[in-house]
Amino acid sequence: MARSPMIVLMAVVALLAVAEPSMFVEAKPKWLQKVGDALNKVKGKGKGGGKKKAEAAGECDNSAAKVPKGGAADAEPAEPAEPVEEAPKAKAPKVDYPAGAAPLLEAATANFGKSFGGTPALAAHAPGRVNLIGEHTDYTGGFVLPLALEKRTVVVATGKVVDVEDEAMCSVGSIGMEDESGNLEIVSFDANPDLLVPGMPQPFWTNYVKGVVKQYAGDLPAGKKFVFQAVFASDVPLGAGLSSSAALEVATATLLEMISGVVPPNPATKALRCQKAEHEFCDMPCGIMDQFISAMGQDGHVLKIDCRSQVGSPVPMNANEVVVLIANSKVKHELSGSEYPDRVAQCKAATEVLAESFPEVKELRDAVSLGEKREELSHDIRRVDKTWTHNADAARRPIPSHPIPSHPI
């Protein structure tokens, strides 16, 4: 019997050697399901009766929800029992939750209780990503084609809006960032937008959070600021080229939207705020791809992004025919400490040189239209141009929504 055809797209990403049990991540169907389903799996501790599950039926936004506080809401009622006998527990409805979200929520909730006491009232998440087509093109006005992964960053929190004169601080911790005693390292900062600046000695990762808080401060009435206590948990490997920083930023943005009650007019605005936070608070001149896919990814789709117009278009991807395999090369990847900023500067310089001879070139994307004129360029400029051309041409090809022809493996 003939074997079913399948394409295996090898995306060998420069990954930091992280302590994970597996070297491979497989992007399966249903990358982005509703986080409300994940919250249904969060476990709560009852008093005097041991552990009991906190199950909450119903749907919510795919990136944020209120954390259930216990009980078995909307479950089937328990059978009546004799007064002297304990009523049998209601059977929780079976739910289909995002892979990996429930354990993260459980761990974050447990650590929240240890660090701050009480139970978090809010939860949000955002996915990591892998890019299929278009490298170093999202900051040169080009096209990219990323997809969201089941790996994600989760945050649980309590929060409110107060007067800027209030002495209350924002306090954050992250699983994996513990002190010598094994407790979460809690970092506090004042979210007064006039005082909020990046810097040390606070751990560098908190700059991503502070940068997003700064961007969302404009949604608050004059004289107000955010105050929250939050714990983050993530299974997006750090330094893995899977956009753990964007997942952290977008999850934080969603949390702030819940606290303020103000949501940006569209996901692109949210993504651009997160990009600006990384530019200003982490000194990283990243493009828009990572934040766009983390904020706009859809189940069963890749996202074709026109980085000049800043428009993302979901493209159906037949997950029954395609498997994306991400291999851990054990090579450390860190944008803020790598050659990435140098490449951004080189592309900008190349664009300026091209524009001197070819005024129609406003961004490196426009070099595609130069045709035979490219032969007049110097070797260094031609190398940048060719790299761009190959990526741009590939990214601009229409992506079929029907099964892709393939060979058996």
CB–CB of 308/299 below 8 Å?
no
3-class DSSP assignment, residue 311: strand
Q: What would the two tokens of residue 304 be?
A: 């074709």
Count the neighbouring beta carbons within 10 Å of the beta carbon of residue 25.
Answer: 25
Catalytic center residues: 290
Cα distance between residue 253 and residue 271, in whole Å: 9
Task: Characterize 61-87 residue by residue with b for buried, 16 or more Cβ atoms within 10 angstroms of its Cβ, and e for exposed.
Answer: ebbbbebbebebeebeeeeeeeeeeee
DSSP calls for 350-376? HHHHHHHH-TT-SSGGGGGGGGGGGGG
Beta bridge partners of 155: 124, 232
Pick from 155, 286, 281, 279: nearest CA to 207 = 281
Cβ neighbours of residue 390 closer than 8 Å, sequence gap 6 or more: none
DSSP calls for 285-327? ---SHHHHHHHH--TTEEEEEETTTTEEEEEE--TTTEEEEEE
Q: What would the two tokens of residue 37 be?
A: 């389903």
